[in-house]
């Protein structure tokens, strides 16, 4: 028998977060209701605000609140270099390091046949159009060093093969199995500095 339909709905909603199973979701739900209702309200307000305001950049596909994000519209960025990443979290991790001054393209995921994620579900078509229609001289493939990330990198490299541009990958300073979002800044900076041609 359910204690409360509303609590059950909250627990189910919290399970949408990565790494949150039934027990953690229950713990979070009870904590918010017992001890931090104001925090729960802040979370709800912030989530509603983000859902209302956040869209995708028409150029690079990352999250933003306008047609074109601040990075793509900046005159200070090197528009000849494009870094391809899996997610906005990866873009944010690279930006925090400050070692890269070019533009980005966010695929919004990685290839994973087991999960039914093929090229048509990611931003590859837009990436090809972006490279074809702009004066890009180098594309840095910065996918995660996981089996899915490597498959995504290989597909990206094949997609870019017809273009007369330099294609590089992040150096192997990024550990195998690691995800950019969780790298320390020194490792990520070194990986960018030592990137290599594929």
What residues contact 20, with CB distance under 8 A and at least 6 apart?
14, 28
pTM for the whole thing?
Answer: 0.79
Q: Could you give the domains of the chain?
A: 5-53 (1.10.8.420), 69-197 (3.40.1360.10)
Convert the pLDDT of each residue in 112-133 to its tens digit.
988 889 999 999 999 999 999 9
Convert the pLDDT of each residue in 38-80 to its tens digit.
999 999 999 999 999 999 999 999 999 999 999 999 999 999 9
Structure tokens at 173: 């300073």
CB 195 within 8 A of CB 140: yes
């Amino acid at each position: 028998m359910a204690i409360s339909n509303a609590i059950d709905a909250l627990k189910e909603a919290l399970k949408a977060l990565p790494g949150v199973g039934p027990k953690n979701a229950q713990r979070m739900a009870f904590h918010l209701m017992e001890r931090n209702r104001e925090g729960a309200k802040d979370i709800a307000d912030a989530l509603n605000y983000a859902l209302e305001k956040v869209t995708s950049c028409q150029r690079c596909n990352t999250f933003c609140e306008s047609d074109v994000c601040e990075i793509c519209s900046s005159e200070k960025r090197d528009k000849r270099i494009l870094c391809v990443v899996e997610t906005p979290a990866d873009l944010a991790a690279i930006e925090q390091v400050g070692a890269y001054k070019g533009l980005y393209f966010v695929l919004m995921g990685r290839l994973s046949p087991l999960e039914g994620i093929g090229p048509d579900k990611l931003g590859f078509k837009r990436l090809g159009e972006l490279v074809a229609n702009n004066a890009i001289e180098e594309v840095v493939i910065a996918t995660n060093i996981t089996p899915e990330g490597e498959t995504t990198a290989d597909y990206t490299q094949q997609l870019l093969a017809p273009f007369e541009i330099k294609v590089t990958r992040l150096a192997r300073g990024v550990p195998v199995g690691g995800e950019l979002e969780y790298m320390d800044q020194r490792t990520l900076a070194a990986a960018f500095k030592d990137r290599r041609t594929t």
